[in-house]
Amino acid sequence: MEKDIVVKSPAKINLHLEVKGVREDGYHDIVSLFQTVSIYDTLKFRSLKKRSDIRISGNHDIPDHDNIIKKAFDVFVKKTGINTGVDLELEKHIPVQAGLGGGSSDAASTLIGLNTLFKAGLTDKEMMELSQELGSDVPFFISGPAAVVTGRGEKVEPVQPRSDYWIVIIYPDIRVETKTAYQWIDEYRCAEKKPRFTVESLIEKYKNPVNTWPFYNDFNAVLLNKFNVYSKLEEILEEKGACFSCVSGSGSSLFGIFNSENDAEEAKMAFIGEYPLVTVARPLDKKIQPVLL
């Protein structure tokens, strides 16, 4: 057993997100292009020899009954039979309900960290199966760093990641619950005709120059209709040279894609001081990796 493990848990953006109809199980099918980015929560693990539960501390206010990290611990224990307790310190930097996948990433990082801490030897396939019990986006973070995601989020097709662009990410301090956002999208279906992509065609488009990407997010029109701030943000990003911009996930963060680091940094300065999170991030090219202390 290792003594201490640290895992940097990355955020993600949806470079593309199509939302299809409601399935029989109540979920929506999606076709999406996920990319992890350089904004992180940090999880530090230490074993507690005399406990059979997880003790979570840190700068968060998530109750235990609604904490996906606790749920990840429970499914790991059920799978492995390991009953040693864990002290986990969580340092959060990814905003909650922001479309950046912070909770799902933390859950995946918990499984990865526990697997390393206890030398449980779970395979990637087993980890993917466990992650499906936790939430729609969690399997992606086990796989990462870039993938086309379909079904309700459980089908992950990894793609060769790119690192030749920069991302300005803005969180406008609006919390959007995923369930509510999907209700909105069912009520407000944009009449605009948009191209629809297969997994294969989306991968091919992703290989093209960034300024030719035909990507979009079906939630974009919905949130522009609900909150005036998005039109303002998109207008400024376009003025600053963004190749394109849209919300991530079901909101509420919005991002702009830039060919140039200088342009991205200049665009960031137009928003600094106005919103809780404004940053320039890079797309990541590696999966989540635990670090031994």
Domains of the chain by range and CATH?
4-160 (3.30.230.10), 166-281 (3.30.70.890)
CA-closest candidate to residue 14, choices 125, 100, 102: 100
Q: Is 226 a catalytic residue?
A: no
Half-sphere exposure of residue 204, counting CA atoms within 13 Å on the CB side?
A: 5
Q: Name the catalytic one among 41, 106, 137, 218.
A: 137
Q: What percent of the chain is modeled with pLDDT above 70?
A: 96
Q: What is the pLDDT of residues 271-292, one digit of tens each?
A: 999 999 999 999 999 999 999 8
Cα separation of 233 and 231, whole Å?
A: 6
Higher pLDDT, 60 or 107: 107
Q: Report yes or no: 48 and 55 within 8 Å, Cβ to Cβ.
A: yes
Average pLDDT, the chain: 93
User: Hey, what are 153's tokens?
Assistant: 């989020």
Does 15 have pLDDT greater than 70? yes
Q: Report the length, in residues, of the chain.
A: 293
Half-sphere exposure of residue 286, counting CA atoms within 13 Å on the CB side?
A: 6
Does 51 have pLDDT greater than 90? no
Cα separation of 81 and 244, whole Å?
A: 48
pLDDT at 58: 86
Task: Give CA 133 to chain center in angstroms.
Answer: 17
Q: What is the pLDDT of residues 89-135, one digit of tens each?
A: 999 999 998 999 999 999 999 999 999 999 999 999 999 999 999 99
pLDDT at 190: 58
Cα separation of 192 and 86, whole Å?
A: 51
Q: Which residues contact 196 (CB under 8 A, 6 or more apart)?
A: 18, 31
pLDDT at 24: 85
Cα separation of 282 and 37, whole Å?
A: 6
Cα separation of 92 and 94, whole Å?
A: 6
Lowest mean pLDDT among 6-20, 145-159, 171-185, 277-291: 171-185
The pair phi, psi for residue 124, each rounded to 5°, is -60, -40
CB atoms within 10 A of CB 29: 15
Q: What is the pLDDT of residues 198-220, one digit of tens each?
A: 999 999 999 999 999 999 999 99
Q: Is 173 a catalytic residue?
A: no
